[in-house]
Amino acid sequence: MIKAIIFDWDGTLAETRKAVVQSFQSVLTKAGCKVSKEFIERLMGVGTKKTILEAFRQCNMRINVETINNLTKEKVRIQAELTDLVQVFEGVTELLDALQTKTKLAVATMSGRQVIDKTLAEKNLEAYFETVISADDINSPKPNPEIFLKTAKTLGVHPKDCVVVEDSIFGVKAAKDAKMKCIAVSSGVYSNHELQKECPDIIVDGVWDKERILTFVFA
């Protein structure tokens, strides 16, 4: 029996690419590391520190832990100021309304705490979720399953009784490694073919496909 639905944020419940790319490019360019919009988008889901590390590798530049931490703080600060660029996907509130009285709801995101708390509050979504686990609450980013396992533990729900809704290949892999069911949504940057390789239970176009999601959860 499904007792909890765990949602990713970026690309799953909201279109955040503009804010993510702009904040990354701002701090990376100042550090002398220039990468493309597509490079950043393809790493959405692994978290800020990992993306910065991969960007420096792409630029054949060395980076130490202190610099990663400093750039991460600055990137999060900038992104928190760009919440007006974030668009919640059509159908989100309708889906959450349908689920809220029947199961526990949570967000598990590789966004920083400052970003996700501010955004959820501004978009009037925070009241839907019993808990929100961010990149600041874990040690290992997706595709490591830590974030989903910690969310389940916080909710007091066994992993096998959880469904994860994810748009990234990293998130789908993390959900399956956590032994949770997974609904993949192709509303992010990854194609159906790419998502299918990670073996989600089903793939839908987006959270607006409420009937297919509800049927899977409660069948």
Give the N- to C-terminal CA distance of the chain in Å, as an integer: 9
Interval 65-87: pLDDT, tens: 999 999 999 999 999 999 999 99
pLDDT at 193: 96
Q: Report CA dihedral (123, 129, 133, 134) to the nearest 10 degrees.
A: 0
Strand 14-15 to strand 181-185: parallel, antiparallel, or no bridges (unpaired)? unpaired
CA 44, 16, 171, 73 dihedral sign is: positive
Question: What is the bridge-based pairing of β-strands 131-133 and 162-166?
Answer: unpaired
Domain boundaries, the chain: 4-16+86-218, 17-84
pLDDT value of position 9: 98
Compute the radius of gyration of the chain from its Cα atoms: 17
Cα torsion angle, 63, 135, 198, 24, sign: negative
pLDDT score recorded for residue 96: 98
Q: Quote the CA–CA distance of 217 and 183 in Å, as a whole number.
A: 9
Enter the tokens of residue 50. Answer: 């990992």
Contact call for residues 20 and 38 (beta carbons, < 8 A): no
Evaluate whether 148 touches 106 at the Cβ level (below 8 Å).
Answer: no
Closest CA to 16 of 172, 176, 168: 168
Which pair of tokens denotes residue 216?
Answer: 């899977």
Q: Is the separation of the CB atoms in 20 and 121 below 8 Å?
A: no
Supply the pLDDT for residue 141: 94
Q: What is the pLDDT of residue 219?
A: 84
CATH classification number, 17-84, choose in 1.25.10, 3.40.50, 1.10.1420, 1.10.150: 1.10.150
- What's the predicted TM-score (pTM) here? 0.94
What stretches in the chain show pLDDT beneath 70? none
Q: Which CATH superfamily is 4-16+86-218 part of?
A: HAD superfamily/HAD-like (3.40.50.1000)
pLDDT computed for residue 70 by the predictor: 97
pLDDT of the residue at 122: 97
